[in-house]
Amino acid sequence: MTFLLLTPDNGRMTNASSSRPARSRLRGGRGRRTGSRPASISRHEDPVRDLAFDIVCGVVEHRRMLETTLERSTCEGRDRAAAHRLAAAALRHLGSMTELLQPLLRRQPPEPVRCALLLGVAQILHLQTPPHAAVGTIVDLLHRRGLSPFAGLANAVLRRVVREAETLKEGLDDARLDVPHWLWSAWGRRARSITQGFYQEAPLDLTMKPGCEVPEGGETLSTGTVRYPAGTKMTELPGFAEGQFWAQDMAAAMPVRLMGDMRRKRVADLCAAPGGKTAQLVCGGAEVVAVEREKSRAQRLKDNLARLQLKAEIVVGDALRWRPSEPLDVVLLDAPCSATGTLRRHPDVLWIKRPRDITTLAAGQDRFIDAAYEMLKPGGTLLYAVCSLQDEEGPQRIAHALEDGRWELSPFTEEELAALPRARTEEGYFRTHPGMNVAQGGMDGFFAARLIRR
């Protein structure tokens, strides 16, 4: 099969993966060529592009999480960080870049080739890579990966992107294209405001241990979180080795802060890894049992608490089956969820999740809420939280829990959310999304509600 580059007089093509016609675009003259020589066909090593390619192919072809591919890689240090940045840029702009490429291809190439083209466009449009390098590195990548028959196609297509970028981008609604249709519809009126924070690299947010000095360069936010610019390495900040702080997005840090005085309270932190909320509870004076099902995640939780010099009882077990020896005062349930609220840090989540996943997760969340009921003493408190933007995993789960009369809603008050008033809903829930406070660096999407066992 031959894949041809469209020329101005080839007319308008129809996307093979869509029933709607490609957008008509004005195509100018030949323009300036990229560099003075054809792109290199050398096959030298390039661990950054190789890993970025593996990440994007894993997401697009296999619905494999970005972090899974990273964990399997032997790439380290700067190469690993650069590959993550490149892959994340491609995934953030996947929809709009796919649309931009559409009129340049007579037929859709195989998925690995499309992934390589997406990495090339991401370098050209979003990472300010020099044009000759953006083109040449992708041509080299295709040769290394046994896709040499498509190297010419990539060379021609990417050179046209360099020459005609402004024309090709004309009329594109990036925000709409970069979110799958089902998610855009599910978010409703919030959809466009959610995407306002999507394209920013997330800053580094820290939660400090009480009494510890804030490392230089941090901005203390109204909620108490300390924020550093995107790209800051936590491990290089003074006080890391001494366990004076841990990484935790400002939205993720709020649920525990909304639990009030935890001194001498007996608390279970369910699905506790990596341990940020456990650490908050321990620092607040609670007697904490941290429950985590997966051994590897439980080990990570243990290691994090050891660095922080904090103590909690760690139980490796299924929170749906585990029960305390006697009823608890409080249960913190950070339930397994779609994690759509973390799309700034994990843009792969947009392309991995499906509507049926939300249905399955919601049913599991109901079971966790039922389990929490059995752990609490009468009058005990459940703090339910998810890093999800989906109504099915937030408000609808609370409405379902309240139906049988076993729970009573304890709304968060205006005073409790005075530091972040926009996060309080009419029902008294806590709810954030990535488009909030964008000028200050934004935040993850989070939902939390407080229930009392009758």
Binding site annotation covers 380? no
Which one-letter amino acid corresponds to residue 107? Answer: R
Binding site annotation covers 292? yes
Binding site annotation covers 318? yes
Binding site annotation covers 243? no
Determine which one of 75, 115, 337, 387 is catalytic: 387
Element (DSSP H or E) covering residue 264: none
Binding site annotation covers 39? no
Neighbouring residues of 200: CB distance < 8 A, sequence distance ≥ 6: 230, 344, 438, 441, 442
Per-residue burial over 154-191, b if 16 or more Cβ lie within 10 Å, else e, is: bbbbbbbbbbbeeebbeebebbebbbbeebbebbeeeb
Give CA separation, 164 vs 138, 159, 160, in Å.
18, 9, 6
Q: Is residue 8 left, alpha or beta, with left meaning phi > 0 and alpha meaning psi from -120 to 50?
A: alpha
Is 337 in the active site? no
Q: Do 320 and 363 touch, CB atoms closer than 8 A?
A: no
Q: Do 435 and 423 touch, CB atoms closer than 8 A?
A: no
Give the whole-angstrom CA distance, residue 105 versus residue 15: 9
CA atoms within 13 A on the CB side of 446: 24
Q: DSSP label at 179?
A: S
Give the whole-angstrom CA distance, residue 358 versus residue 230: 30
- How many residues does the structure list for the chain? 454
Positions of E strands within 202-310: 204-208, 219-220, 226-228, 245-247, 266-270, 287-292
Neighbour-count burial of 316, counting CB atoms closer than 10 A to its CB (0-12 exposed, 13-18 middle, 19+ buried): middle
Q: DSSP label at 106?
A: S
**Backbone dihedral angles phi then psi of residue 134, each to the nearest 5 degrees:** -60, -40
Binding site annotation covers 275? yes
Give the whole-angstrom CA distance, residue 279 versus residue 51: 33
Give the whole-angstrom CA distance, residue 324 versus residue 269: 12
Give the whole-angstrom CA distance, residue 192 versus residue 194: 5
Smallest Cα–Cα separation from 110: which of 270, 3, 257? 3
Binding site annotation covers 401? no
Active site residues: 387
- Binding site for S-adenosyl-L-methionine: what residues are annotated? 271-277, 292, 318, 334
- Binding site: what residues are annotated? 271-277, 292, 318, 334
